[in-house]
Chain A
Amino acid sequence: MLVLEGVSRRFGDKSAVSDVDLRIEPGSFVGVVGPSGAGKSTLLRMINRLVEPTAGNIRFEDRDTTRLSGSALRDWRAQCAMIFQQFNLVSRLDVLTNVIAGRLNHMPLWRSLTKSFTDAERTMALRALHRLGIAEVALKRADALSGGQQQRVAIARALMQEPRIILADEPIASLDPHNAKVVMDALRDINRRDGILVMCNLHTLDTARTYCDRIIGMANGRVVFDGAPAEFVGGVIEQIYGADGARIDERMTSTSLGVGGAGQPAPMPA
């Protein structure tokens, strides 16, 4: 169980996230939606502690992660892997090394500094790449890959961490519809098969409905909606995105293949 209590973050005099309370079941697939600047990224980054909360605490299995420091903090980071919108791979390293970087918390310093990876680690990395269907690019440089492939490499790196949680910060916002589906399917597969909790910031509402079993809506740093995908319609969207939100025709903004059919009603213009 991942529990957030009164979590807040201020940047100067601007409040990015204020007073968020959440209880997230292990193994669930949670989507976080809301307009740009609503505090979604900050919320995710506070869980991994890339951003420090200014108030409140975040507990995972009754351990307060906001108090951790030093190697305990790094162990916690290894447990909650992070996926970024811009992939954040090391572009000058080959794919295999990028993926094995997911083990840096697990290996002694001298081995990471000399790149002395064991055969088991290399095999594990190849297996992670296999699972994402891109084993053949293992020896290419990361920047030689397409965006969709790079994001799958990033997911393979996350898998190497043997994480309990995967935090994905708009993982498909830079991808075309086909690659977006491949990446979201991979995250769902990891969530279902390995029971890893996935928490995912999304801009496309139909993607959130399709993949998530719980949707959290944020506006101005606060949680304004928390419920099942079926409840995420009409008035709720207006509440999150403002009065204009209800006018958003999802067929225009969607990046998923085959929206508009498939029994997903787009909200009616008000």
Chain B
Amino acid sequence: MRPVRLDAILADDIRAAKAEMPRAFGRPWPARAAFGLGLAAAVVGLVALHVVYGLTPERLLSPDPRAWLLFVHFFDWSGFLTWEHRDILRSLGDTVAMAFIGTTLASLIALPLAFLAARNVLPAFVVRFMTRRTFDVARGVDQVIWALMFISVVGLGPLAGILAIIVSDSGTLGKLFSEAIENTERGPVEGVRSVGASPVAVQRYGLLPEVLPVFVSQALYFFESNTRSATVLGLVGAGGIGFELIARWQVMRFDEVAYVIVLILITVSLIDTISGAIRRRLIGGRQEADAAAQAA
């Protein structure tokens, strides 16, 4: 028995091992050369694209003088007391409310549909196919496009924004939820089925407890993300802080624009903190189990 020590490996040993299992010593040189050439071609292509689209150091280091002016305006907050704080804050509240209502309803719609779209829940191909394609349509059209459509149906204002969030996010959440369901272990489902539970009860007890923390975590992230994107919905007229932002930008009130942006950042990080706390509490049970396993 030869010892497993690096200093006991001699040139003869390497030769013998190479003869026995050549593929353990990496790809042969033509494959490596092809890989290297491919990599080089990609680098050349990347650099060429930079030049085509003007992303050159020369261009980036000599900005338009107006950029500097804009930058200075951003940070001059001397008129702070004269700004329309009440309007701005109310619109910010509208935005958070739009995101909250939209995400909640989208999650509630996506939840049952996700089970219909999951392979391990519903082997019937037709229903799964139809559900998936519905999800595709809902999220394949961008939220802003949905907002424009709903504005022409229900008019300008937050309702159009909420409807846009519901439609596009029930598609996205449905896809994510159904994938989470497909990633679960089969064991618990089998266990509940073995006691003679009905198919719906099997999903309720064998699957839902496994996936619920994932669902909640994704829904919370979407709430945060929608608070940001509801800003964009406002830009096209679907209510909220985005409208205040674009109105001030058009009249070059850049100091207030910066103020609005700072408020959005604060709101989003507040939501992030709160949803983090909720998530920790929800998956807390698992952490306790891990600690117990560590102690064992």
Contact = CB atoms under 8 A, between A and B. Distances in A.
B24 A138 contact: yes
A135 B24 CA distance: 11
Contacts of A36: 296
Interface stretch (B12-20, B125-133, B186-194, B254-262): B12-20
A123 B14 contact: yes
A120 B296 contact: no
Chain A interface size, under 10 / 10 to 19 / 20 to 34 / 35 or more = 20 to 34
Nearest to A106: B6
Interface string A33-49: 00011010110000000
Contacts of A16: 294-295
A110 interface: no
Contacts of A138: 21, 24
Interface stretch (A64-72, A124-132, A230-238): A124-132
A11 to B, nearest CB: 5
B66 interface: no
A139 B22 CA distance: 11
Interface in B1-41: 1-6, 9, 13-14, 17-18, 20-21, 23-25
Interface in A1-26: 11-12, 14, 16
B291 interface: yes
Given A16-B295, A37-B295, A124 B21 contact: no
A189 to B, nearest CB: 8
Contact of B24 (A51, A96, A106, A159): A96
B4 A124 contact: yes
A51 B4 CA distance: 29
Contacts of A122: 17, 24-25
A119 interface: yes
B25 A124 contact: no
Contacts of B5: 124, 162
B296 A127 contact: no
Given A37-B296, A42-B295, A139-B23, A131 B1 contact: yes
Contacts of A41: 294, 296
B17 A162 contact: no
A42 to B, nearest CB: 6
A133 to B, nearest CB: 12
Contact of B294 (A11, A103, A126): A11
A34 to B, nearest CB: 10
B21 A128 contact: no
A159 B4 contact: yes
Nearest to B13: A123
Given A14-B295, A120-B9, A127 B24 contact: no
A127 B13 contact: yes
Interface in B165-185: none
Contacts of A120: 6, 9, 14
Nearest to A14: B295
Interface in A57-92: none
A160 interface: yes
A194 interface: yes
Nearest to A130: B2
A181 B52 CA distance: 66
B243 to A, nearest CB: 48
A119 B1 contact: no
B3 to A, nearest CB: 7
Nearest to B291: A11
Given A12-B291, A124-B9, A194-B4, 14 more contacts: A11-B294, A11-B295, A37-B296, A41-B296, A42-B295, A119-B14, A119-B25, A120-B14, A123-B13, A123-B18, A127-B13, A138-B24, A139-B24, A193-B1
Interface of B: 1-6, 9, 13-14, 17-18, 20-21, 23-25, 291, 294-296
5 smallest CB-CB distances across A and B, nearest first, come from: A123-B17, A16-B295, A120-B9, A159-B4, A11-B295
19 contacts: A12-B291, A36-B296, A39-B295, A41-B296, A51-B294, A119-B25, A120-B6, A120-B9, A120-B14, A123-B14, A124-B4, A124-B9, A126-B21, A128-B4, A138-B21, A139-B21, A139-B24, A162-B6, A194-B3
